[in-house]
Amino acid sequence: MKCVVLLLVWTSAIVCGHSINRVSRAAHQVCHPTDGRLFEFHTRPLLWEDAQIKCEENGGQLATIQDTETFEFIKSQILGTPEINDDVKTGMWIGLNDRSMEGLYEWVDGTPLQVDDFKLWSASNPNNNMNKDACHGQDCVQMWKRKNWLLDDDYCSFRKKDFICEYFNSGECTAL
């Protein structure tokens, strides 16, 4: 019995040894088709701020989706990966938010949402619904599963969601 346990510890040490990296290996990863970013899809739900912290711990941030091509690429990754698509219950957090000033959307690095940025909101969003958070309303943006992954402002601290991180200069992707 002792040997079996020792063997297990030894084996997992080897497996873990290979998996230690700046970027967590547990989540599905894919390179952006052109700009060299690495996206990482997490299916252990967190509140928005904790999700952002999780991305930062690995040197990244919640994903930025400035154009339709990137949106469609991310959506195709979700739809084409059953362990993500089946697992996500409500939606996936991205880096867009209006936490600093109501109605003024910006990415986590402070870059404002530009006029010509991608912003395919789901119908009647953003609506800053106040029902579950009378102080803040809805200030954190998800890709909403049941609205074909279109954007929705949701409560930052009400429901945990799966999320997408992005990493620049991860060493894993090449910009074209």
Pairwise CA distance, residues 40 & 26, whole Å:
9
Interface mask toward Ca ion for 141-160; x: CB under 5 A: -----------xx-------
Site for Ca ion contains 67 (CB under 5 A) = no
Site for Ca ion contains 100 (CB under 5 A) = no
DSSP state of 141: E
**Three-class SS of residue 2?**
helix
Q: Which of 60, 91, 95, 137 contacts Ca ion by CB under 5 A?
A: 137
Contact 126, 153 (CB under 8 A): yes
Q: Where are the beta strands (DSSP E) in the chain?
A: 28-31, 38-46, 61-62, 91-97, 140-144, 151-154, 161-167
Q: Which of the stretches 72-80, 82-90, 117-125, 165-173 binds Ca ion when contact is defined by CB under 5 A?
A: 117-125
Q: Which of 28, 136, 159, 160 contacts Ca ion by CB under 5 A?
A: 136
Site for Ca ion contains 40 (CB under 5 A) = no
Q: Which amino acid is at 149?
A: W
The nearest distance, CB 76 to Ca ion, in angstroms, is 24
Interacting residue ranges for Ca ion, rule: CB under 5 A: 98, 102, 125, 127-128, 136-139, 152-153
